[in-house]
Amino acid sequence: MRKDNSEFITGFLSESGSFVRNKDYFAYAELDDIACWVIARGLDNDQEVESAELAAKSVLGYFLQKPSISRYRIRRYLQEAHRVLQAESHRVRLKASLTVVVTDYARVRYGVVGNTRLYQFRNGRLQWQSKDQSLAQQMVDGEEIAEDALDQHEERHNLLSYLGTPNEFRPFVSKKLPLYDGDVFLLATPGLWEKVNPAEMQDGLQEAKDPETWIDTLEDVLLSKQEHVVQNYTAAAIFANKIFKTDPQKKWRIIKRVALILLVLALAGGGALLYKMKEAERIADASTGMFEHETAGDAFIAEGDYPKALKAYSDARNAANIVKNKVQAALLAKKIRITQLIVDGDTAVKDEQYAKALDKYDKALKEMKGRDDFNEPEILEKKEKTQSYVLVMQWKKEGDLLFEAQDYAGAEAYYQKARKLALETSFVTGEKELRTKLDEVASKKTGIDKEKKTLDGDKLEKQGDESYAAQDFEGAIQSYTMAQEIYQEIGVLEKVLAMERKVTKAEEKLNPPAAPPSAGAPAGQPPVQGASAANQPPAVQVNPTAPVNQTAPVNQTAPVNQAAPVDQSAPNNQTAPVNQTVPVNAAPPVVPTNQAIPPAATAPATQTVQPLQANPPATANPTQEEAAKTP
């Protein structure tokens, strides 16, 4: 009655924090000669099954059936909990971290899978703590990060092993550790040990007289952090106030007894017995491994990881052959055949051998007909997707034939239809090829369009040349301008500039510039015929300040007392020209601002002033007049 001769006190709390559901779970059982404590943390999001509770109860259930502190038994407890989670993973894959502690009230052994923890305190100080099965712990062991950075490292939840894992299940089971009076143990989930460090745990233990007081102190420390989000947290304290005392001589008596038995076996041919014992152990391990590998294979099938399922089923069949279980070996062979067909179909899809993949999927569906251990809808989906791939490649081939026949519009229609189906079925390789084909079609269509527009531009340019030759300059300008727009659109710069030059030339022909004035005569006045400049009548002066629209008087008579100039060099019988046009560009005389201008002398600045008429012509003297009458 070890329990009656020892004193172990347990206290615990488990809270959901900021969440509605609590994914943590704690339970324990104390028997007369042995006790077990289990703490678990659920890692999945299943809304109906609590993986932590299921795993913890599974461990305690197997412990109560076969209570033991041996390493083998504790490993078996964890393996059974792992198998239970895999078997109950219907909607989602159930996962959990778990720590189990077993004691015979004199020694203790623990097992860990995941990142729930066990701390041991002795004389008020931390003695040791369990190691997580995480990437962060692996980095600490490899001295890549400091140990005090473990609790806050970003990889602390990246677990290498846990209950329900689809990979190899590798729990850690410690050796037997001796107990002393006053030893204290703390089991904690990540929600607690992430926020309460070992130093704070140790400080809280100094003033605690029982487990409940210590646990309440740890909760106060956690909540004092005032985190915006508080995770689920669970803590269980075990105070080993009195340890069961064993007979110190009993150990040596047991050792002597075992040594004597071995000596007798050796003398009596114990070698054969030892061989049989080893063979029996091998068969037992094979039998256990057979079911474990098959269970693992079923879990891989549920996750759709068929290559791993195939390996697990193969290992299970090998174990079945070792134990000579023909029935189980035949059942496993059936699973292996179906799984192999699915794997071959997936491989054929990767190799773009879609016809072969369809054949493999059809055979797999035929083999699994009526079975509930394979996901038939998933294989049907694989088959339908592969059929879509075949149709995509068929349309692509049709488009290729039209492309080679230079029917680019028809090819584009097939390519577009095939690409749409490829996108709908996530056919990445086919979609990429079709996108390349569509780019090639677009390039070809662009080239043809450019050639057509070039011909149109050349045609318009030729029309412009013909219009220019026929002196239809307006028609030429119109044709050249239209041709220039086409060349501009297709980017033929040299043609654009050529049309610009032709348009300019045609415009010059359509609107020629004014002829320059003749030499020796003022601008706007025809040259004087038959008389020198001296015989020209004086120009009427224009008043710059006169109104612009005022009409100059016509046939203005020169003043009576003004004598016409006489050309001395002209013959006596030559009469000076009477109607001379006064040049308009002659500079007007400067008129003082205070002098009035005679009304008769004013004329608009823009009007051509009529020349003065010699009426009657002035006569110089009677002699000259007589000479003029003489022939």
Query: Residue 1 in contact with residue 220, Cβ under 8 Å?
Result: no
Query: Residue 313 in contact with residue 294, Cβ under 8 Å?
Result: yes
pLDDT band at 590 (very low <50, low <70, confident <90, very high): very low
What pLDDT, on a 0 to 100 scale, did the predictor assign at position 564? 41
Residue whose tokens read 């797999």: 364
What pLDDT, on a 0 to 100 scale, did the predictor assign at position 255? 66
Burial label, 106 (beta-carbon count in 10 A; 0-12, 13-18, 19+): middle
Higher pLDDT, 261 or 575: 261
Which residues have C-beta within 8 Å of that of residue 559, sequence separation ≥ 6?
none
What pLDDT, on a 0 to 100 scale, did the predictor assign at position 259? 67
> Which of 79, 80, 118, 85 lies closest to 99, judged by CA?
118
pLDDT band at 577 (very low <50, low <70, confident <90, very high): very low
What pLDDT, on a 0 to 100 scale, did the predictor assign at position 318? 85
Length of the chain equals: 631
d(CA 335, CA 317): 10
pLDDT, average across residues 372-391? 87
Query: Residue 363 in contact with residue 344, Cβ under 8 Å?
Result: no
Cis before 616? omega within 30: yes
- Torsions phi, psi for 185 (to 5 deg): -120, 145
pLDDT tens-digit map of 275-289: 555 555 566 666 677
d(CA 624, CA 476): 67
**Residue 606 DSSP one-character state:** T
DSSP 447-511: HHHHHHHHHHHHHHHHHHHHHHHTT-HHHHHHHHHHHHHHHHHHT-HHHHHHHHHHHHHHHHHHS
Q: Positive or negative CA dihedral for 528, 529, 531, 536? A: negative
What pLDDT, on a 0 to 100 scale, did the predictor assign at position 547? 43
Q: Which of 24-38, 248-262, 491-505, 546-560 is predicted least confidently?
A: 546-560
pLDDT tens-digit map of 510-561: 888 776 665 444 544 444 444 333 344 444 444 444 443 443 443 443 443 4
- Complete domains list, the chain, with CATH: 3-133+160-246 (3.60.40.10), 254-373 (no CATH), 408-510 (1.25.40)
Buried b (16+ CB within 10 A) or exposed e, 54-75: bbbbbbbebbeeebbbeeebbe
Amino acid at 473: F
Residue whose tokens read 């339908």: 384
Burial label, 211 (beta-carbon count in 10 A; 0-12, 13-18, 19+): buried
